[in-house]
Amino acid sequence: MRIMNWYSIESIDTAIKRTSKTLFKPFDFWKWIKLGIIIIVSGGGFSGFNFNPGTFNKPAADMNMDAPLTEGMPSTQEIIDQITQFWHQYQTYILIGLVIIIFITLLFTLISSIMQFVFVEALVTNKVTIIANFKKYLRPGFNLFIIQTILGLFFLSLFILAMLSVVLPMLQSPAIITFGSILSGIFWFMIVAIVLALISGIIYSLINLSIPLVMYDQTGLIEAIKKILGRASADRKQIVVYWIMRALLWLVAAIIMGIAALIIFILLAIVIILVGLILYFILSSLGLGTGNILFWTVMIIYGLVALIPLIVLMLLVSVPVPVFMKSHMLIFLQSWYQDATIPFFDAKESREI
């Protein structure tokens, strides 16, 4: 019986070795800093939920989940009138603010798209050159930016449409707003967010697999995506196992690096606090108390200087996990899509081994 080779699993050992070569053989501080900048600029973030705990402080007898929560609240028409008045009063500032926010968002997305190519190039060649590679991959990065913007608007539209089924009835009939309806709305929000996150994650993983084809096979981004989609549809088991392994690797690597980063941060914070206390006692012994402007000038300058090692730490700890995960992706791609030509810096050494 033939045992199937799971490329995503086999790629782990090689990814660990290549990550070690990239980051530690030899260790280059400025290389880490540049990689940290690339990773942060090309990355993303998550937002959370805030709940008001005041509702849960009521006696159990008052917690009627079907009781309307609109008592004492303004009517829908009053709310609309207030919003309309606010809009007419500040519409110029609101529009200017929206334009600035949209411009900054689009600009960051464009830079992030280009940096994804720069990151791949840095790991493949083991040479981190930001400006030159940024110029080199400006055009394919712009094409990626267009695709990501279209996808972002598409998923945003899906999210809004999905949430309208919950929000519109509440706006049309505020009397139906109850504690239970709010909970069901939150539950629906979480379901929609999770489903869209899974779908977008799958799509973006296929796009990420397409980027090296654009770079080293001299093909367009759309054509590269079609090739990856064709390979994925022909080999579904490998790509599904790849997605599962990626999720597990991200979880394990993030936990390990999170613990290590927390320990280093605590040690660094202790040193900064101790130095700050020593500085405080020195200034106090010189007769400079908290009411003296010179005291606060010195302490503020020290606080700003103390931020530098914290920023450096943030850059350094942001490097190993993304480097390993991107290396794993590239190695998997080379094994899974054998027509891909990725000129790894240690390709000759790997063949000899």
Structure confidence by residue, pLDDT tens digits, 208-262: 999 999 999 888 999 999 999 999 888 889 999 999 999 999 899 888 888 888 8
Give the long-range contacts of residues 267-270, CB within 8 A, separation 24 or more: 268/309, 268/310, 268/313
Residue (of 207, 125, 149) closest to 133 by Cα position = 125
Q: Give the model's pLDDT for residue 114.
A: 94
Whether 170 contacts 58, CB under 8 Å: no
Q: Give the model's pLDDT for residue 260.
A: 85
* 223 vs 218: CA distance, rounded Å: 10
From residue 59, how far is each of 27, 63, 136, 182, 258 by CA, in Å? 61, 7, 65, 19, 40
Q: Give the model's pLDDT for residue 330.
A: 94
- CA atoms in the 13 A half-sphere facing the CB of 228: 26
Residue (of 175, 243, 161) closest to 209 by Cα position = 243
Residue (of 321, 313, 304, 316) closest to 267 by Cα position = 313
Q: Give the model's pLDDT for residue 223.
A: 93
Q: Give the model's pLDDT for residue 49.
A: 32
pTM over 0.85: no
Q: Give the model's pLDDT for residue 294.
A: 84
Q: Which tokens sit at 217?
A: 């096979």
The one-digit pLDDT tens for each residue of the chain (353 residues) are 445 678 899 999 999 999 999 999 888 889 999 999 999 888 743 333 333 333 333 444 444 444 444 455 555 556 666 777 777 787 888 889 999 999 998 999 999 999 999 999 999 999 999 999 999 999 999 999 999 999 999 999 999 998 888 777 766 666 666 667 778 888 888 999 999 989 988 999 999 999 999 999 888 999 999 999 999 888 889 999 999 999 999 899 888 888 888 888 898 889 989 988 888 888 888 877 777 788 888 888 888 888 888 888 888 888 899 999 999 999 999 999 888 888 888 765 554 44
